Structure 1
Amino acid sequence: MTSTASTVERAFRAALYEDNDAGLDTGASLLAADPAADAELARRGEEFVAAAWRRGWQPADVVRLVRRELDEVHLSLVAGLVRAQSGRDRPRGRRWAAQLEALPEPAVRAGDRFSHATAVLELYRLLLRLPALEVLEEPRRDPGPGASRMLNRIRALLAKAEATGYPEEAEALSAKAQELMARHSVDEALLAAGAPAPDAPGACRIGVEPPYEQAKAVLLDAVATANHCRAVWNEALGFSTVVGFEADLEAVELLHASLLVQATHAMTKAEAAQRAGGRKRTKTFRQSFLAAYAHRVGDRLAAVAGTQVTEDLLPVLATRETAVAGRLEHMFPETTTTRLRGVSDAAGWTEGARAADQAQVRARPRLDRPSDLSRPRPA
C-alpha cells in the first residue's frame, strides 16, 4: 500500500465507520497533513458515487439528499464527484443526462485544508450509508421528432400558465396542456400496440420537497393518476417514484412542476387576502389550501384526459394499465397508505378548491375526502 493510500485508509477508519466528532477530527487532520493524498481521496469519492448508482440511486437523488442533510459546501463537492465519475461511466439515457446537466456548479475550494477534509469526510459518510433503492432503467426507443414537437407545445402552454397573473387563464392553459398530453399518450399507446415489441413501462423519481410535502405528494399522485401512471411516495428520502410509459412519465414531470408553481402563486395571493382580514394561521391555511388544490386538480385533469378516450381505445389502455400495475408491484411488492394530515383549515380548503376550479372543464368535480398516498412498506 502506498503512503497516500495508507493516509486515506487511516483517515477512513477513523472518520467513516464511527459516527462521532472525535473520529472525524482525527481523519480530517490526517488528510490535511498529507496533500499527496488528495488525488486518492477524490478517486475513492468517485468509487462511492459509482456504488450509489449500483444501489439504485441517480444524480438528482443524491443531490436532493445532500441538500436536505448537509450544507452548500457538500453540495458543491458531490456535484464535482458526480461530474468526474460520469466521464468514466456508461451512457445511461436521456433523463440521466438531464440530471447531470442540472448539477450545481462546483465552487472553488474555500477554507483551510482541515475544513475541506472535514467536509469531504462528512459527505463520504453520507454516501456510504445510502440505502438500496429500486433500480430505474430508461427506455431505449427514441421518442422521435413528433413527440419532441408535442412536448415543446406542452412546455410552451405551461410556461404561459405559470407566467400569467390571471388564475382563470392559468387553469385554462393547464387544461389545454393536459388535453395535449392525453392525446400524445393515446397516440403512443396505439403506436406501441402495433409494434412488434411494445415498450415496457418504466419509472422515474420526482422530488417532493418540504414544507407541506404531504399535500405536494397528493398533487403528484393526482397528476400521475390522470396520466395513466402510478406514484409511490418515500417520505424519508423526499421523493415519489412514478411508474408508467415514457410519454406519460414526461407528461407527469412537466405538468407536476408547472402546477406546483401555479399552486404557490394562487396560495400566496389567497393568503394575502386572508391576512388582510386578520387571520394568522398561515401553516394550517397553506396545508389545507394545497390539499384541496391537489384533490380538485386531480378530478379536473382526469376529466380532461377522459375526453381523448373512445371505446375502441379501451382495450389498448387496459393492457397498458395492467403492465403499469405489474411493474409497480414488481418494484414495490409491499406498500402502505398514509392519510393526509393537517387538513383542518376550512378557509384554506375553500380557497384551494376555488383556485383549482377557476376554469371548469366539463362537469364540476366533486369534493371527496383527502386522498391516501401509496408508500413503500417499512422493512
Structure 2
Amino acid sequence: MTTIQDVLRGSLSYEDGLDALTVAPAGEADAAMRGAVAEGVDRLVRGGWQPAELHRVVARLGNPVQAHLIAEATRAYISKFPDIDPRWRAQADDLPGGNNNRDRIKTLDAGLGLLIELRKLPTIDKLIPAPGDKPEKRLRGADNRVLERVRALLAKAESTDFPAEAEAFSAKAQELIARHSIEEVLAATPDETPLARRLGVDHPYESEKASLLDAVARANHCHTVWSPELAFSTVFGFDADIDAVELLYTSLLVQANRAMARDEPAKGKARIKAFRRSFLVAYAVRIGERFERATRHEIEQHSDLLPVLRSRDLQVQEAVTRAFPRTVKARGSRVDSLEGWESGRAAADEAKLA
C-alpha cells in the first residue's frame, strides 16, 4: 500500500494518510502496516540495534501501543531464523507480551507514528551478531557461581529497610566482584579482547544515572560512553567485568531510589527535584569512592599483576577510541540542594566496609 510510503516521504500529510488507512479494506491496510513495521525492524537490526534497545527507545515515546507493536514485530522477526545468538534470543524473549484486543484505529495511528520514529533512529555499532549472522561463541563471562553469590547479596541489600545494612551488602558484593576480577585476569587467555555492551539509562535524571553507571564501571576496569539522545551508555571492558557492572548498577539504582524516596522533602516540587538530582550526584560520587577502594585493596594483594592490568586498561581505552573517535566530556550536574547532597552521601556511606 503506497499510502504509508507517501506519509513517510512527506508527500501525504499524516492526517490524510491515517484517514486513507482507516477507510481502506481492513485486511489490506493491517497487512501493509505490519509489513512496514517489519521492514523498519529489519533495517534497524541490520543497523546494530538489539531487541531490548529498540523496545526501550520506543517505550520512551510514551505510547504503550507502539511498545507492543515493536515487541510483536521483533518476535516475529526472529521466528524466521533457526540459529541466532543466544543473547539476542534472550532479549527478545524478555520483551513484554502484546494486547491482541486493541482498537484497530488506535493501532493504525500508533503504527504510523511508530514508523516515523523508527526512520529517525541512526545506525549504531553491531555489538552482537544479529539474526542471519553467524552466532559467535560467548566469550568467558563471570563465573555463574560468583554472580549468584553477588545477586544474593544485592537482593538482601534491596530488601532491607536499613541503609547501613544495604550498604554493607553492596560493599561485600563489590569486594567479591573485585576478587573475582583478579582471578579472571590470572586465568585470562592471550586471545581475549575487550567487548562493549549497551545499558539503558532512562529518565528522569539521566545524567545523574549515567554518572552512577560510570562510577561503577571505573571501579571495575571498564569505561563508559553516554549517548543521551538514544537512552543508553555503552560500557567497554572485558566480559566478566561488564557482567559485574550491569549487575551492580541495576541493584544500586533500586537502592538509591528507595533511600531517596525515604529522605526527600515532604513538599515543594522545585525543592524535591533539586534534592533528587543532588542526592544522585552525591550517591554516585561516594559509591565510586567506596568501590574504587575495595577494588584497590584486592589489587594491592596482587601487585605483580599491575603491568597486566595496565595493559588491559589500555586495550579497553583503545576499544573506546575506535568506536567513538570523537567524544565530549559531559558537564557535571549542578548540586543545588545541600540537603540532597548530604543525604546522598549518607545513603552510600552509612556502613563501614565489611
After TM superposition, is the score higher than 0.5? yes
Q: Does residue 1:180 correspond to 2:176, yes or no?
A: yes
Mapping 1:56-67, distance limit 5 Å = 56-67=48-59
Pick the aligned partner of 1:294 from 246, 263, 284.
284
Mapping 1:347-362, distance limit 5 Å = 347-361=339-353
Q: Which runs of 5+ in 1 are unaligned?
A: 1-7, 363-379
Query: CA contact under 8 A between 2:40 and 2:119: conserved in structure 1?
Result: yes
Q: Equivalent residue for 2:133?
A: none
Query: CA contact under 8 A between 2:36 and 2:115: conserved in structure 1?
Result: no
> 1:202-227 deviations in whole A, cap 9, x for unaligned?
11111111111111111000001011
Report the AA paired with residue 123 of structure 1. Answer: L
Q: Equivalent residue for 2:102?
A: 110
Q: Equivalent residue for 1:140?
A: 137
Once the 2 structures are TM-superposed, how far is the Cα of residue 34 of structure 1 from its aligned partner? 4.5
Once the 2 structures are TM-superposed, how far is the Cα of residue 245 of structure 1 from its aligned partner? 0.7
Change (3 A) 1:80 1:132: same
Q: Equivalent residue for 2:150?
A: 154
Using the size of structure 1 for normalisation, the TM-score is 0.85
Report the AA paired with residue 287 of structure 2. Answer: V
Change (3 A) 1:230 1:316: same
Instruction: Give the aligned CA root-mean-square deviation in angstroms.
Output: 2.3
Once the 2 structures are TM-superposed, how far is the Cα of residue 198 of structure 1 from its aligned partner? 2.4
Query: CA contact under 8 A between 1:190 and 1:316: conserved in structure 2?
Result: no
What is the aligned-residue identity percentage?
42
Q: Equivalent residue for 2:71?
A: 79
Q: What SS class does the counterpart of residue 337 from structure 1 fall into?
A: coil
Report the AA paired with residue 293 of structure 1. Answer: Y
Using the size of structure 2 for normalisation, the TM-score is 0.91
Q: What SS class does the counterpart of residue 45 from structure 1 fall into?
A: helix
Q: Does residue 1:281 correspond to 2:271, yes or no?
A: yes
Q: Equivalent residue for 2:121?
A: 130
Once the 2 structures are TM-superposed, how far is the Cα of residue 81 of structure 1 from its aligned partner? 0.3
Q: Does residue 1:164 correspond to 2:175, yes or no?
A: no
Partners in 1 of 2:282 and 2:58 — Cα distance?
A: 31
Q: Which runs of 4+ in 1 moved over 3 A?
A: 36-41, 89-95, 141-144
Once the 2 structures are TM-superposed, how far is the Cα of residue 40 of structure 1 from its aligned partner? 4.9
Change (3 A) 1:279 1:40: closer
Partners in 1 of 2:310 and 2:146 — Cα distance?
A: 24
> 1:5-24 deviations in whole A, cap 9, x for unaligned?
xxx2x122222222843343
Query: CA contact under 8 A between 2:63 and 2:110: conserved in structure 1?
Result: no
Q: Equivalent residue for 2:6?
A: 14
Change (3 A) 1:27 1:140: farther
Change (3 A) 1:93 1:245: farther
Change (3 A) 1:86 1:347: same
Change (3 A) 1:275 1:26: closer
Mapping 1:1-379, distance limit 5 Å = 8=1, 10-18=2-10, 20-29=13-22, 32-36=24-28, 38-89=30-81, 91-112=83-104, 114-137=105-128, 140-141=137-138, 143=140, 147-192=143-188, 195=189, 197-271=190-264, 274-275=265-266, 281-309=271-299, 310-361=302-353
Query: CA contact under 8 A between 1:137 and 1:203: conserved in structure 2?
Result: no
Partners in 2 of 1:132 and 1:98 — Cα distance?
A: 22
> 1:36-85 deviations in whole A, cap 9, x for unaligned?
45445424422321210111111111111111124001111110000010
Partners in 1 of 2:83 and 2:254 — Cα distance?
A: 32
Q: Report the number of matched residues.
A: 345
Report the AA paired with residue 167 of structure 1. Answer: P
Query: CA contact under 8 A between 1:28 and 1:118: conserved in structure 2?
Result: no
Partners in 1 of 2:36 and 2:82 — Cα distance?
A: 18
